Structure 1
């Protein structure tokens, strides 16, 4: 399940316009994935997607 949550957050970051992520960014995403449940990850991804579309 953590793989799916990681994909959801990475998709949210991409939708927000963040494409060139560093290894430290991936580490931060992984830390979120390990601490948040599926619903919270989807909510964060939703925020990121909305932020990207507001630009």
Structure 2
């Protein structure tokens, strides 16, 4: 069974949105699916690097 998903609304800078749309299309993914993939990869990388989300002084 696939994990449940929640709907969210975000605001993106136009250049970021356009670039993300192009990359998603290049990989034949929906925009939502591609953003989810990017966020997951980024979060996994932060975990791997020991980032706990706390800001450093």
Fold match (TM-score > 0.5): no
TM-score range, shorter chain: 0.3 to 0.5
TM-score scaled by length of structure 1: 0.38
TM-score scaled by length of structure 2: 0.37
Q: Which has the higher helix share?
A: 1
